[in-house]
Every structure is written in structure tokens, then in C-alpha cells.
Chain A
Amino acid sequence: MLSCDSFRDRLYDEDARAALLGRTPIPADLLAHRDACAACRQEWDEAGADLVGLPSLLAAPAPVAVVRKIRIGAAERLQPAPRLDWNEGLAWAAIGAAVCAPVAAWVPMLSPVVLGMVGASIAFGASATRRVLREALR
């Protein structure tokens, strides 16, 4: 059986809080002592009343300007991370390759394949960068 001091300390544990707020049954050790001790029964009732009553006495609405700033901050900061669109990237890579490969006619040292790959890489990179920048600046 709990002592009165232990009972008083137990009132602030989370299982006791849940029971005081009527969310869960009263833990057995608290129930046994509460039923046996009139002073602790009163303490229990007061603790329950304080849990219900004190939050409204302590709460206050935040100033409108603060709410507005935080709302704007939420819209700016809570954005999904930009994702690479592979279809768009591959389409640009193909365009890059098609544009660069014919340049081999004027640059005999490099084959159309190499120039096509260089063009594809540049176009793919530009496409990905453009997407990331667009998301970041939105």
C-alpha cells in the first residue's frame, strides 16, 4: 500500500494524469490508497480539478502578427524536396545529343558518339538545375 507522500508524488505520473482526466482507469496502487484515505481522496479530486482548470487560466491567444508570420514561414519552409523528373531530363539529354553529334563534322578529333554524350550530359544537367532552382525560388 502506498504512503500518503508516495500517493502525492504518484499524482504527477503520466498514468495518473491520464486517469485524472478520465482517459484511462485509475492505476490499482492509487485506487487502493485513495479508497482508504479521506485526505488523499480530496487530494485526488483537487489534482483532477487543477488538470482541467489550470490550462485555461494559463493559456492566451498569440498576437495576430505572430500567427501571420509563422503561417507565412510555414508556407515557405514546409515544401516538399524538389525531385528530379527523369522523363524531362532524358528528353533534354536526347535533344542535347541530337544537337551536338553533328558538330563532329567540324571537329574531326572527336567522334559523334562522344560529342553526343557531352551534349546529352550538359542538357540533362541544365534541366535538373533549372528544376531545383525553380523549386527553391518559388
Chain B
Amino acid sequence: VWSFVPDVFGQALNGLSYGILLFLLSVGLTLIFGMLDIVNLAHGSFYMLGAYAGLSLIAVTGSFWWALLVAPLAVGGVGALVERGCLRPLYRRPPLDQVLLTFGLVYLFEDLVKWMWGGRIRSIPSPDLFSGSVTIFAATVPSYRLFVIAFGLAMAVALFVLIERTRLGAIVRAGVFDAEMTAGMGIDVDRVFTGVFAGGAALAGLSGVIAGPIQSAYPPMGASILIPALIVVVVGGLGSLKGSFAGSLIIGQAETFGKAWLPGASMLIIYVVMALVLLFRPQGLFGRPLK
């Protein structure tokens, strides 16, 4: 009678690890949105860049752990350049211009990656330490997934502490709430903008490195992960860290169980979740009420 338990448990863990990846991705998206009022379509590209940077760093250093450390920093640097070089001149323009600029970046980055690494799917090995699998409640789970979950939860806690409990976090939250007023209080919001954008990009890059051994690296991965990440932000509420966490876990589970139980309509499920949330809570689960 209880034979479905291992299967459900295994799927739930898969969903959790996918949700964690989405969380790392959507944190940056939601904070950038809240603070700069930008939908950063190139956010998926940072994820893709993270995966490919990870691929090369593993090849060069021979260690997944170096890749995990260095790739996000590199992607964060790219993010800082993008914010300083391209987005900054557009802050006084209508939001559409910024969206279109990031759209141009999607093409640019995807083609650069094709150029440098080729268009084929490249698989990325799990680190030796987590290459096996473990059995929990009669479910066989790759130990790398457990690592992803533990690491992601640790990152989530660290982010909560950083955003909710530190002075820097207070500045970021103030910026999300009202950037103009924050500037009026004598805070150099320009630097905070760059920092948040670079930090968000670094987290997306981190998500890409971690996703590598699970999903491999392929050029369109950035454009396709962007949509679930956007849905997470809509479901969770724009600009909300809590919302992005809750939304990620919900969407992660919905998509994973959809693939297992409704293979013919699995892609549709996350949209159904989004539509339901919008019907009953248009501002998202943790969003501020809409004007």
C-alpha cells in the first residue's frame, strides 16, 4: 500500500533541488526588479554564463570547488559591467528601453557562448565527493542533489541574514521600497544599484554552476530557465525575498511532479499555478498590494 512513498519522496527531493536552483536565480531577478524597476531578461544569460564558466574552470583547475567559487565572481563582474556600461545611461528612459537592452544582451551572450564553447550540449561531472547516490526511505537519491539542497538552503539563510539583519541589507530593502527617498537620505544608491545587480548576476551564475552536473550546459539554457524564474517572481510577489523563496519551492515541486504524473501537460502546470495565484492574489504571495 505504501509503495508509492519512495517515489513521491524521491520526486519531492528532485523538486526541492530544482526549487533551490530557481531560488538562487530569482533572488537577483526580484531584487533587481524591486530596486531598479527592470525586468532583466538577461538574467537567464548569467545562469548560462555560470554553467559555461564552471565547465571551463573545472577543465582548467580540475576541481568543481574552484569553479563554484570563481565562476560566480566572474559572472558578477560581467553583471557589474553591464549595469555600469549599458543600463546606467537608461535609468531616465521608459522601462521598455531597459527591457529591450537586456533582450539584446540575451542574443549577444547566447551567441558568444556558441562561439566560444560550441552549440552542442556539454555534460558537467559531479564533484567526486558527491558522485554516488544514497538511499533514504527506500528512495535512491543522487547524493549531489542532497548537496544542492543543503548548499542552497545555507545560501538562503545567509541571504536572509544579509538582507534582513544587516545595515547593508537595510539599505537594499530601503532601495527596493523607494529608491528616490533612499537617495534623499544621503545614501549612494548608484553604488547600491551596481552592487545589487552584480550580486544578483553572481547568484544566477552560482545557480548555473550548481545546475551544470544536473542539467548539463547548452546555449539556449538561459533563455529557457528565464520563464520559470519570472513565474517564480510573479507568484512570490515582486521585490520580495520571502516570496521568491516560497515561489521557487512551489514552482520547483509543481514542475517536477508534473513531469512525473502528467507527462503530456507537464509544461503547462506552472502557468496554471501562476494564473491561480493571480486570480486570488494579484500582487503575488508576499508582494505589496498593487496600486
A and B together in one complex: no
Q: List A residues at the B interface (Cβ < 8 Å).
A: none
